[in-house]
A and B are shown apart, each in its own frame.
Chain A
Amino acid sequence: MERKKHDGVYFFWSTSIVICMLVAVFVLGFTSCKKNTDVPAASESPTASEEPSGTAASASPDGTTTPGTVSSSPTSSTEARLGETEDMGQEYVDKFIFLGDSTTYGLGYYDMVSDSQVWTPASGTLTLAYWTAASIAYPDDNSELLIKDAVAKKQPEYMLITLGVNGISFMDEKYFVTEYTNLVLAVQEASPNTKIILNSIYPVSASYPAENGITNEKIDTANTWVERIANSTGVKYLDSESVIKDSNGAMPDNISNDKALHLNADGFKLVINYLRTHGYQ
Chain B
Amino acid sequence: MTKKHILLITVILALSLLTACGGKTAEIRNDVAVSDISTAVASVLGGDTLVSVPDTFYSGSMKMDISEFDGCDVKINSKGINIDEFGILKAKDSSQVSAVEKTVKDYLQMRIDTWMVEYMPEERPKLDNAEIKTVGNYVMYAILSDDGKKAAFDAFEKSLTA
Query: A-side interface residues toward B, CB under 8 Å?
Result: 10-11, 14-15, 17-18, 21-22, 24-25, 28-29, 31-32, 35-36, 39-46, 48-54, 102, 121-123, 125-127, 129-130, 132-135, 137, 144, 166, 169-172, 174-175, 178-179, 182, 212-214, 258, 260-262
Looking at the assembled complex, report how far the CB atom of B149 sits from the nearest CB atom of chain A, in whole angstroms. 9
CB-nearest residue of chain B to A133: B51
A-side contacts of B17, CB under 8 Å? 21, 24-25, 28
CB pair B131 A170 closer than 8 Å: no
A-side contacts of B120, CB under 8 Å? 123
Question: Which of B79, B106, B116 contacts A144, CB < 8 Å?
Answer: B79
CB pair B110 A40 closer than 8 Å: no
B-side contacts of A133, CB under 8 Å? 51-54, 76, 78
Q: Total A-B residue pairs with C-beta atoms closer than 8 Å? A: 163
The winner among A17, A18, A102 for most chain B CB atoms within 10 A is A18
CB-nearest residue of chain B to A171: B60
CB-nearest residue of chain B to A208: B118
Given the interface pairs A25-B16, A32-B23, A42-B133, the reply to whether A175 lies near B78 with Cβ below 8 Å is no
Sample of 17 further A-B pairs with CB below 8 A, known A22-B13, A129-B57, A134-B78? A18-B13, A31-B23, A32-B20, A39-B25, A39-B28, A43-B131, A43-B133, A43-B153, A45-B128, A45-B129, A52-B110, A133-B53, A133-B54, A133-B76, A133-B78, A135-B79, A179-B56
Query: B-side interface residues toward A, CB under 8 Å?
Result: 1, 3, 6, 9-10, 13-14, 16-17, 20-21, 23-25, 28, 51-54, 56-57, 59-61, 63, 76, 78-81, 101-102, 105-106, 108-110, 112-120, 128-136, 153, 157, 160-161
Looking at the assembled complex, report how far the CB atom of A202 sits from the nearest CB atom of chain B, in whole angstroms. 13
A-side contacts of B119, CB under 8 Å? 102, 123, 125
A-side contacts of B25, CB under 8 Å? 35, 39-40
A-side contacts of B79, CB under 8 Å? 121-123, 134-135, 137, 144
Query: When chains A and B are docked, how far (Å) is the Cα of A121 from the Cα of B129?
Result: 25
CB pair A123 B80 closer than 8 Å: yes
CB pair A46 B28 closer than 8 Å: no
Given the interface pairs A41-B157, A132-B54, A175-B56, the reply to whether A54 lies near B63 with Cβ below 8 Å is yes
Query: When chains A and B are docked, how far (Å) is the Cα of A127 from the Cα of B117?
Result: 14
The winner among B16, B60, B63 for most chain A CB atoms within 10 A is B60
A-side contacts of B128, CB under 8 Å? 45
Query: When chains A and B are docked, how far (Å) is the Cα of A83 from the Cα of B96?
Result: 54
Query: When chains A and B are docked, how far (Å) is the Cα of A36 from the Cα of B51?
Result: 32
Query: When chains A and B are docked, how far (Å) is the Cα of A129 from the Cα of B133?
Result: 25
Looking at the assembled complex, report how far the CB atom of B85 sits from the nearest CB atom of chain A, in whole angstroms. 10
Looking at the assembled complex, report how far the CB atom of A129 sits from the nearest CB atom of chain B, in whole angstroms. 6
Q: List 21 A-B contacts (CB under 8 A).
A: A21-B10, A22-B13, A25-B13, A28-B20, A41-B135, A43-B153, A44-B132, A46-B108, A46-B112, A48-B109, A49-B109, A51-B113, A53-B106, A122-B81, A123-B79, A130-B57, A130-B76, A132-B54, A135-B51, A135-B78, A212-B117
Looking at the assembled complex, report how far the CB atom of B102 sits from the nearest CB atom of chain A, in whole angstroms. 8
A-side contacts of B63, CB under 8 Å? 53-54
CB pair A212 B114 closer than 8 Å: yes
The winner among B53, B61, B114, B115 for most chain A CB atoms within 10 A is B114
